[in-house]
A and B are shown apart, each in its own frame.
Chain A
Amino acid sequence: MSALLKKDWFGLGLVLIFGSILISLFKPAFISPFNLYVLMLSVSLMLVVAMSQMIIIAIGQMNLSVGAIGGLVAISFTGLMEVYSMSILPAVLIGLLIGLACGFINGYITVKTGISAFIITLATLYIFKGMNLGITEAQPFYEIPEAVKFFGNAKIFGPIPYLVIIPIIITVLMWILMNRTSLGRYMLAYGNNVQSSELIGISSTKIVIYAHVISGLLAAIGGMLVVCRLQLGTPNIGDSWLLPSFAAPVIGGAILAGGKVDVIATAFGVILVSIISQALVIFKIDPFFVQIFLGFMILLAVFINRYREYREERRTKVFSDE
């Protein structure tokens, strides 16, 4: 029991359970199959995005370009299928490749120049988003193969959408990566203390590049999943990812200075954020109040999960010393 209490996800799990019970007491529609389906969809998409940011938080950096990568891949993916009539599989592969390349660029420049990833990804955010706009001239692509549309819309059984499959696999893989592989442990070690881990013999180059490449790949997958969901490839995909991508890991106990992330708690963070924004709709909150509520709910969520860590977090900085 006391071991459970120590877990980052435990407090959040309780909040989720009690919160859901409370909401469904007031609004039974909350646990209707269709609502669960909608909830799972929004969780699925954000999960991938949150993981993409989480792995960069793990090494104590930030990736401002997640959304830009996601958007670029989304429109490349649909563009290839619409303009070049490419079939789905190669389009997916090229999409992943673009994500990988973007991540590699971020990681490579960051580690080779020693400039903070915040700055590098701020610049690449402009570059990737600029390419996106330059290619599309702000026009969406509409010609999506039926199979893609089906994947984004159909249910496996009950309220469970096909779309959750990939995010769930990714979450499991991420858990294994962060908890059971040397690579993941080295990333966390690196995030904990860059100098120590270099002295231990961990190669910064490898760690940083791998983390960014994984982040790029996840952002790419996120972008393509959004295409499946929206059934069109608009240049705006990814524009709204940045804040939720940080909010979920941080609500899940991640420390922005690096070295501490928790995959399960991050997933719970995503669910919590989704439930909050859904609750705002379900309870018909006046649109003029929505922002205010959202702000207070974020603070509340973080308080609940953070209180016991008060001392550690008190003065951690976002960026470790360069």
Chain B
Amino acid sequence: MFGDSFFFISEAFTSLKRSGIMIIISIATIAVSLIVFGVFLLLTANLNNIAEFVTSKLEIRVYLNNSMTVSEIQNFKTEIAEMPSVKSVEFISKDIAWDVFKKSFQKLELNDLVGINPLPDSFKVSMYNGREVKKVAKYLEDKFSGYVDDVGYTGHIAERIEMLAACAKYGGLGLVVFLTLATLFIIVNTIRLTVLARNDEIEIMLLVGATKYFIRGPFIIEGFIMGVTGGGAAVSFLYFFYLLFATKIQETIPFFPLVFDKDKLNSIYAVVLLLGAVLGTLGAYISVSKSLSYENMRIRK
């Protein structure tokens, strides 16, 4: 009923105003647990970003058969470029490769020692996803064995980085799930404690003829307000903290791949606020329902 909603809301505000320290403590607890949650959302997002950044620099070198013609090379390049996981393909002629090689060993004066360029032409293949490097390398080696002399990639280090990236991704996901549950538990329990402290009041309300629905209303709205307030406080904290922190890091290590994407950050903040609101409401609902059914027990057989 509309009239009731209005009554519930005004009751909720009056009650919050008069509860004093208990409500403040609950809201603070809710805020802190949401901050922990938010910090780990931000962390996970950044870990994923870092993992992607690191792995995106992994590349495959495809060393070509000396016998390939220019058009064959062109076709082959197109074919690789069209693979879904490949971002770009660059042709490195053996001359350029030899120059680079020589530059790496400048002091050896290789030109004096080695008359002819011993290196082959090659493709430098960049991938979207570092974790597919190994797969693609294997594929190219098998499929184009006729054209290809050798396929190299950053090897063991790549594997380890892949591992880290996978860790960040799946570990992060697991953490988020775990932390959501922990946050849920802490917030619901905190609200439950505040409701339990008011069991006497609930009993009196039942005695003067209030229905469960009527008692539940204001409590649920109180829970919602507590959740939203706690969530809001958490988001403000996270916002300023991240801004400060990210700016500091960026100043110290300019190339550090932090998440600065507004949409991504905003969606994290939205999740935190929403979680606060949902858990506050849910917590109040569960708590008052349990208190009511407990009070119901008081009408003894």
Whether chains A and B associate is: no
A residues apposed to B, CB below 8 Å: none
Query: Which residues of B approach A to under 8 Å, CB–CB?
Result: none
